[in-house]
Structures are given as structure tokens and as C-alpha cells.
Amino acid sequence: MLGGKFRHFIILLLVGGGGGYAWTFTPSYSLYCLKHALETHDYETFSRYVDVDSVLDHALDEIGSRESETSAKPRLKGFLGKLDRKGLFKFLAGEAREVTKAGLSIAVEQAVKDRDRPLPQIPLFAVPVALWLGRSEGELVVFPVKLKDEQTVEVKMRRTPPEPWRVVVVTNLKVLLPTLQRKLEKLHEDQPKNPSSP
């Protein structure tokens, strides 16, 4: 009787340990590590699970294509609206792409490392969602990440052995532009006025 319970315990332990080990090779595990890297401002781990160059390339493509969309989306106001109306986003997706991408890459690194800066938070429920709702598109796994206000971005991950699953594309970044605009306006308002300027 005792031997049977011990055998069942060993089998359960092996299955549980094997399942846990197998989970470390899933997009869900990579998203969990990415969530932890953002919470601890660990850029080394962040860059292990995010292909920053690829994400920035796709972000510049997406923002640059904003001009060709219909006016069904609300127009940006303030600083970002001026950039949009002048076609700067399209310019950034064209001639100045590499310089822009290098600057954005540095900005991403500084933002992740800055412990005083709040970073985007990946909801805890997004980790199992990546496991259950992820769908395959060729060599990519795609899953939604729901943000505040019922907005959703779509995350695409790729695995190139022996590397872990890495984020290579984040689509629908335009839903984040109004938030970025509010943060830029708040920073502008919080700057002390320079009495020597006209």
C-alpha cells in the first residue's frame, strides 16, 4: 500500500516537473519573463525576450502608414498631431529610418532601466492567454494582450533555437499614441518656465 502511494507520488512529481520544464519552452513563459523584466527594470532580460530592432521596424512601418488610413480614427492633437499632419511619421518610416531606429532603441533601453519611470504593465492573465489563445501564423505565435479601456495590442513571437521565444512584432500600437501624447503634454506642462525665453 505504501509502495503504491510512493510510486504515484513519484509519477506525479515527474509529470509535474516535466510539465514545468516543458513550459519554459513556450511563448507563455517568455511573456512571464518579459513581465518580470519590466517590473524589475532589467534591460538584459528584456532584450533577451524582445527583438527590439524588429519591433521598432514594425512600429515605424505601422506609424508611417497612419497617413494612408481613412479619417475614421480620431486625429491626434497637440505635439503628435502636428508631427502627424506634417507627415513626419511617414518620413520616419522612410529616409531617416536607421537614425530614428537607433535613437528609439537607446530610448527604449533608457526607459526600461530607469527605475523612476513607470513602464507598461503586462497583466498577469496575459501569461495563460498566450498559452491558450495563441494561434500559429507560420513560424510566429500570435496572441492578444488587452490594455486599459478595452484596447488590445497583438503580440507576435518567434523562436529560433536555441534562443527562447521573442517578441518580434507588436501591432495596433496606434492605440498607445493618445497615451503617449498625454504623457508628452504633461512633461511639457511640468517643465519650469524659462524667464529668459521670449
Digit-coded pLDDT (tens) for 11-32:
777 776 766 666 778 888 998 9
> Which pLDDT band holds residue 198 (cuts at 50, 70, 90)?
very low
Residue pair 31/134 in contact by the 8 Å Cβ criterion = no
Per-residue confidence (pLDDT) for residue 19, from 0 to 100: 65
> Which pLDDT band holds residue 53 (cuts at 50, 70, 90)?
very high
Per-residue confidence (pLDDT) for residue 182, from 0 to 100: 61
Instruction: Examine the pLDDT at 55 and tell me if it is beyond 80.
Output: yes
Longest distance between any two alpha carbons in the chain, whole Å = 89
Instruction: Examine the pLDDT at 151 and tell me if it is beyond 80.
Output: no
> Which pLDDT band holds residue 71 (cuts at 50, 70, 90)?
very low
Q: Cβ neighbours of residue 35 under 8 Å, at least 6 residues apart?
A: 121, 122, 124, 126, 127
Residue pair 181/80 in contact by the 8 Å Cβ criterion = yes
For 102-116, how does the pLDDT look when each residue is reduced to its tens digit (9 = 90+)?
887 888 898 889 888
Per-residue pLDDT, averaged over 95-108, amounts to: 78
More confident residue, 83 or 104: 104
